[in-house]
Structure 1
């Protein structure tokens, strides 16, 4: 019997999370990338575990994975986006803030997705119609909330929009200080937390996030949960667009866009 796509995404994310959890605190050889970025053996092994789960269920699907790149032709219109360990620097520094992201693009859209927290043993997932968190075998509906006033800002370089927007400048803006409290988790786990009501918002100026292995799962979760989502310019996310502002409600989203436009002017 075939497994539903959302359950496959959950199973794949859990397989990757199990590897990440088992490798925490162990000696981890590093693979250097460009710009000082790196992957660890845990990234590679977790990705292999995820790809194994996906290939067993749907060997004809294409995959775009953080470490191994693209495999498969995608002739059937299905492409999995896989980030086996988001928050590698945290993980390597023995900080338990990381996530494992798996999303399925069918045609132009990503709807089915899962983002696993290896250390809280939680999986945030969506089937495209609603979003949930699974813990101890129980699913709970995700409900966004701005009550905490906590806003996660991505402060990791590069900063492609620094001439018109820099997240670090927002930290010193009196308007931001009056309304929000900053947090820096340095992993896309924080995007899932907006869907779950654990963060009021998340802001980054990275490029082309709709097609990103890092962010596709979190964006799909937030869309299904009913969050307010746009680029830095307030327009809908688009291929090649700049940045992401995801908020629990319209009021928070509007306030953040106002602060961003102050920098642009």
Structure 2
């Protein structure tokens, strides 16, 4: 009997997470990718483990991996987006704030996604209709909440919209200081935390269409009922680009107001 796409995403993410966990703390070869970015042996091994799972169950699907690029058929409209180790710099210095992301895109729509935390054993996942946390084999529905007031921001370059938005400027805004408290996790695990009620919001600049990093978190937030837009409040992947994922409308509105203050008259 064929495994469901959502179950396959979870299984693949867990396979990658097992590799990441087993490599933690060991001396890992680094592979320069330019621009200060690099991969480690753990990235490559985890990606191969994920691809092996996907290829076995879905040999006719395409795969877009962060490290290996696009492989497999391209004519059935199904593509798996694989981020084997989001937070490589964290991992390389033995910080455990990392994630393993697996997403299925059918046509232009993301239908299932899983984001695994290798060190807690948690898997945040969605079947496209609702979002869940799997822990010790049990699933719990994700419920967003802005109660913490914690907003994760991405301070990593590039900054394509720096003339109209820069996260560092927003953090210095008195309006932000009065209402929120900043966090900088530097991994897309924090986007899943918005869906789970552990963060009030997540904000980043950048062009995120087909992103192996952000696809899972965005899908989780949407399925959980978060407010998800670009930096200008419009639909994702249009206009200015970027991402504002908020637990509720009030938080989203407050963040858009802060972002709009950065625009020149």
Equivalent position of 2:245 in the other structure: 246
Question: Given that residues 232 and 240 in structure 2 are in contact (C-alpha distance below 8 angstroms), is that contact kept between their aligned partners in structure 1?
Answer: no
> CA shift at 1:43, angstroms?
0.2
**1:211 touches 1:239 (CA, 8 Å); kept in 2?**
no
Deviations 1:129-159 (A, max 9, x none): 1000000110000000000000000011121
- Corresponding residue for residue 218 of structure 2: 219
Which shows bigger deviation, 232-241 or 38-47? 232-241
CA deviation after TM superposition for structure 1 residue 239, in Å: 6.0
Q: Count residues in correspondence.
A: 264
2:182 corresponds to which residue? 182
* Counterpart in the other structure of 1:45: 45
Query: 1:4 is matched with which residue?
Result: 4
Alignment of 1:157-196 (within 5 A): 157-196=157-196
**Is 1:256 equivalent to 2:255 in the alignment?**
yes
TM (norm. structure 2) is 0.98
Aligned residue in 1 for 2:102: 102
DSSP 3-state at the match of 2:104? strand
- State the Cα RMSD in Å: 0.9
Describe the superposition over 1:94-118 as per-residue Cα deviations: whole angstroms up to 9, x where unpaired. Answer: 0010000000001110020000000
Report how far residue 241 of structure 1 moved: 5.4
Runs of 5+ in structure 2 lacking a partner? none
Which runs of 5 or more structure 1 residues have no equivalent in the other structure?
A: none
Provide, for residues 30-59 of structure 1, a one-character-per-residue CA deviation record: whole Å limited to 9, x for no partner.
Answer: 000120100000000000000000000001
Report the Cα offset of residue 240 of structure 1.
8.0
Q: Is the 8 A contact 1:150 1:183 kept in 2?
A: yes
Give the equivalent residue in structure 2 for 1:76: 76
Kindly tell me: are residues 40 and 16 of structure 1, through their superposed partners in 2, closer, same or farther at Cα, counting changes over 3 Å? Answer: same
Runs (4 or more) in structure 1 with deviation over 3 Å come to: none
Secondary structure of the 1:164 match is: coil
